[in-house]
């Protein structure tokens, strides 16, 4: 079975029919049907614009717009039946429009190419995806702030190299995952601006030969500006790459949070417990409660990175202007957006429903984590920090040799290493005190964390 090329939008110059597999290979409808709503919006705006340029009568514009509205309704109701000859969503919309309004449908494509049409539709789709991801990010940010509020006062070890380092407030740790997401929101807002340049009116590559007011057209579709160069407008997919980069970075940020929550939820750490609603069991081991949503989050970050590198490889070296390679731009973007639409709300729900386990955190507070504070004690007594570091290192070694924790090591042992130690050295061994000493902007002291929390709150209220 071969398809009649004469029925194709471009069939005029062809005498042979298209090979069936080649047609299937060419067909983007299985994925670009998702641009349907955007294609209808873009087409309505285009009908009005060429109407104003004198290409269509007011009546034709009205008929086309009514027809397109109807196509839009059918698309959203899922009642628009696609035909084998519909090689992409643009073809399907135009074909259906013809069935609804007759010959006038054939005038809609005046001055327009699918090259500027698809670039427009896709930008509109990405703009919407940016708004969705930004809204979902805010939900996770709110969940982090809510945790920071409800867990105020809890202290846990802060880690570097996954080794106990210094005590910190759990709220400070939660907020350490808030700020990366804030930067992700900013990144999305910035790429939104770069996406909001309208390609429509660029034609196939050289521009539109009719008096279309592209600034008004941009405005009517919610774009900020008409694109300044028709070739560039139909060629580049940098906005899609930027979206995928932002998505990948959101994935990376979520994966870091997920990884730590997995570690914190182990019996070995016992700092948190996930709710049943966000855990999964084992088909074999009845006792298991697995953090699957967190592991999936960690794993999907890898996939998101792959989508970005895949698209970059697709657009690399494409000769100007439109090349069919560019049809491959949509699937990765859809896939990234679809995954984030689940990853983000799941993370928010998981954060809201987990339980902090104060005893587990308390039990992990090793006095050795106050060694830096011991060095600071000597610094306050005039010892240069490098020397203080060395002396405290000796004390740590001694405490390990004697198998006595630092806070219970006899004063005489301290004094044998430095005469600067006196009985008030005991005051160093207070985790609250250690935390609250770090009260300058950005520190873990409760005072500083409260100020940080106030800043974070301002950002999620908008
Ligand atoms: N389905 C195509 C795509 O997504 C539409 C543009 C087709 N343009 C062309 N010159 N064949 O890229």
349-374 per-position pLDDT tens digit: 999 999 999 999 999 999 999 999 99
pLDDT in tens, 36-83: 999 999 999 999 999 999 999 999 999 999 999 999 999 999 999 999
Residues 123, 224 within the same domain: yes
* Closest-lying ligand 1 atom to the alpha carbon of residue 89: 1
Domain that holds residue 55: 16-110
- What is the DSSP secondary-structure string of 193-215? HHH-EE-TT-TTTT--SS---HH
pLDDT digits (tens, 9 = 90+) for 426-454: 999 999 999 999 999 999 999 999 999 99
Q: Same domain for 213 and 301?
A: yes
CATH of the domain at 349: 1.20.200.10
**354: which 2 tokens?**
């987990």
Nearest CA to ligand 1 atom 11: 324
| Ligand 1 pocket test target in 5, 115, 240, 321 with most atoms within 8 Å of CB | 115
Ligand 1 atom nearest to CA at 122? 4
pLDDT single digits (tens) 380-394: 999 999 999 999 999
Tell me: do 245 and 376 sit in the same domain.
no
User: 324 C-alpha to center of ligand 1: Å?
Assistant: 6
The 10s digit of each residue's pLDDT in 297-353 is 999 999 999 999 999 999 999 999 999 999 999 999 999 999 999 999 999 999 999
DSSP H or E run through 356: strand 355-356
For the chain, the domain total comes to 3
We report the CATH number of the domain holding residue 27 as 1.10.275.10
Average pLDDT over residues 408-425: 97
> What's the whole-number average pLDDT of the chain?
96
Angle 320-325-328 from CA coordinates, rounded to 5° = 135
Work out the end-to-end distance of the chain between its first and last CA atoms, rounded to an integer number of angstroms.
58
Q: Are residues 389 and 282 in the same domain?
A: no
Q: Long-range contacts made by residues 232-235, C-beta under 8 angstroms, separation at least 24?
A: 233/116, 233/119, 233/197, 233/198, 233/199, 233/202, 234/113, 234/115, 234/116, 234/119, 234/199, 234/202, 234/204, 234/205, 234/321, 234/322, 235/318, 235/320, 235/321, 235/322, 235/326
Q: Categorize the per-residue pLDDT at 462 as very low, low, confident or very high, splitting at 50, 70 and 90.
A: low
Same domain, yes or no: 92 and 153:
no
Question: Who's near 373: CB < 8 A, 6+ residues apart?
Answer: 428, 434, 437
Distance 331 CA to ligand 1 centre (A): 14
Question: Is 161 noted as a catalytic residue in this protein?
Answer: yes
**CB-CB contact of 411 with 419 (8 Å):** no
- Residue 118 Cβ contacting ligand 1 at under 6 Å: yes
Residue 424 token pair: 């008030």
Instruction: Tell me: do 87 and 169 sit in the same domain.
Output: no
* pLDDT of amino acid 4: 47
Name the active-site residue from 161, 283, 317, 423.
161
Q: Does ligand 1 have an atom closer than 6 angstroms to the CB of 322? A: yes
CB count within 10 Å of CB 233 equals 26
Catalytic-role residue among 6, 76, 215, 282? 282
């Amino acid at each position: 079975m071969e398809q009649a090329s004469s029925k194709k939008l471009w069939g005029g110059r062809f005498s042979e029919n298209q090979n069936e597999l080649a047609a299937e290979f060419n067909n983007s409808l299985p994925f670009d049907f998702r641009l349907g709503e955007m294609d209808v919006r873009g087409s309505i705006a285009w009908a009005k614009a060429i109407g104003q340029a004198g290409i269509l009568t007011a009546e034709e514009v009205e008929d086309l717009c009514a027809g397109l509205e109807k196509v839009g309704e059918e698309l959203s109701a899922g009642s628009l039946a696609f035909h084998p000859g519909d090689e992409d969503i643009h073809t399907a919309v135009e074909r259906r429009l013809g069935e609804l309004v007759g010959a006038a449908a054939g005038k809609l494509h005046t001055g327009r190419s699918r090259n500027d049409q698809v670039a427009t539709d896709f930008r509109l789709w990405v703009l919407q995806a940016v708004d969705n991801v930004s809204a979902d990010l805010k939900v996770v940010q709110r969940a982090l702030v809510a945790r920071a509020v409800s867990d105020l006062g809890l202290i846990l070890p802060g880690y570097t190299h996954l080794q106990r380092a210094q005590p910190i407030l759990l709220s400070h740790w939660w907020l350490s995952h808030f700020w990366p997401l804030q930067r992700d929101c900013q990144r999305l807002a910035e790429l939104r601006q770069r996406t909001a340049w309208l390609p429509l009116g660029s034609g196939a590559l050289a521009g539109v030969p009719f008096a279309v007011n592209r600034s008004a057209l941009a405005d009517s579709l919610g774009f900020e500006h008409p694109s300044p160069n028709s070739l560039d407008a139909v060629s580049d997919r940098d906005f899609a790459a930027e979206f995928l980069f932002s998505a990948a970075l959101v994935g990376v940020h979520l994966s870091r949070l997920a990884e730590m929550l997995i570690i914190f939820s182990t019996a070995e750490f016992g700092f948190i417990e996930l709710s049943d609603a966000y855990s999964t069991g084992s088909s074999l081991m009845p006792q298991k409660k697995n953090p699957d949503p967190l592991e999936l989050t960690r794993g999907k970050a890898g996939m998101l990175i792959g989508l970005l590198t895949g698209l970059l490889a697709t657009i690399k070296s494409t000769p100007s202007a439109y090349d069919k390679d560019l049809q491959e731009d949509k699937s990765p973007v859809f896939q990234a957006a679809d995954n984030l639409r689940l990853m983000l709300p799941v993370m928010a729900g998981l954060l809201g429903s987990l339980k902090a386990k104060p005893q587990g955190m308390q039990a992990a507070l090793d006095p050795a984590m106050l060694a830096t504070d011991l060095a600071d004690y000597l610094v306050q007594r005039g010892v240069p920090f490098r020397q203080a570091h060395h002396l405290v290192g000796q004390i740590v070694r001694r405490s390990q040799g004697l198998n006595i924790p630092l806070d219970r090591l006899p004063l005489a042992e301290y004094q044998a290493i430095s005469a600067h130690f006196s009985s008030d050295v005991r005051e160093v061994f207070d985790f609250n005190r250690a935390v609250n000493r770090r009260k300058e902007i950005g520190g873990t002291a409760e005072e500083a964390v409260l100020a940080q929390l106030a800043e974070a709150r301002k950002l999620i209220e908008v």
